[in-house]
């Protein structure tokens, strides 16, 4: 049984894409002037990087309520690249919180959140994880040791699972 505070490995890609869809909605709300949403957005990323869905309200909604109700087979993907992607999201959203609430820079916060919107849209709509691709590049360059994710060594060479 997985610990409450452990990041899942593997990760159900359907759940990851649904969480990304929730992030798309939240980033769009921020960019539309609902600046308060930046706090739960940043919290969600930090919570997910630390514990996966365990302490993330959006993660809990998706993994406990939405994904189980879908008639879609689970597609399991490696957890470490997804965690890395959540870390990038946490960095950008915490940076946006500091820019907006700390320095009053709406423009800087909007640029950072705009990057998250693009990445989350690519993940949710096309199953294209920018953070996962960066993770793979860092593994190829030797920055991330191979033992962190053996299954990730050839992320681009992987074939989609048969339906």
Residue-averaged pLDDT of the chain: 91
In whole angstroms, give the CA distance from residue 96 to residue 62.
25
The predicted structure's pLDDT at residue 161: 44
pTM of the model: 0.90
| Residue 27 CB-density burial (10 A; 0-12 exposed, 13-18 middle, 19+ buried) | buried
In whole angstroms, give the CA distance from residue 29 to residue 98.
18
- 37-76: burial string, b at 16+ Cβ within 10 Å, e else: bbeebbbbbbbbbbbbbbbbebbeebbeebbeeeeeeebe
pLDDT band at 160 (very low <50, low <70, confident <90, very high): very low
| Residue 160 CB-density burial (10 A; 0-12 exposed, 13-18 middle, 19+ buried) | exposed
In whole angstroms, give the CA distance from residue 158 to residue 64.
28
Can you read off the two tokens belonging to residue 34? 């609902």
Residue 100's SS3 state is helix
Token look-up 């989350």 returns 120
Tens-digit pLDDT profile for residues 61-95: 999 999 999 999 999 999 999 999 999 999 999 99
Map out the domains of the chain as residue ranges. 11-154
């Amino acid at each position: 049984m997985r610990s409450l505070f452990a990041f899942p490995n593997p990760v159900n890609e359907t759940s990851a894409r649904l969480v990304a869809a929730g992030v798309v909605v939240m980033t769009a709300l921020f960019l539309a002037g609902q600046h308060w949403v930046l706090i739960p957005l940043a919290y969600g990323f930090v919570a997910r990087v630390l514990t996966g869905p365990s302490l993330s309200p959006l993660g809990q909604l998706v993994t406990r309520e939405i994904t189980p109700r879908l008639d879609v087979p689970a597609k399991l993907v490696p957890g470490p690249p997804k965690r890395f992607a959540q870390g990038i999201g946490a960095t950008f959203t915490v940076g946006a919180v500091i820019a907006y609430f700390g320095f009053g820079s709406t423009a800087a916060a909007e640029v950072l959140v705009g990057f998250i919107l693009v990445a989350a849209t690519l993940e949710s709509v096309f199953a294209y994880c920018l953070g996962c691709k960066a993770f793979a590049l860092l593994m190829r360059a030797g920055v991330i040791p191979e033992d962190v994710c053996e299954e990730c060594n050839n992320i681009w060479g992987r074939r989609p699972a048969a339906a």
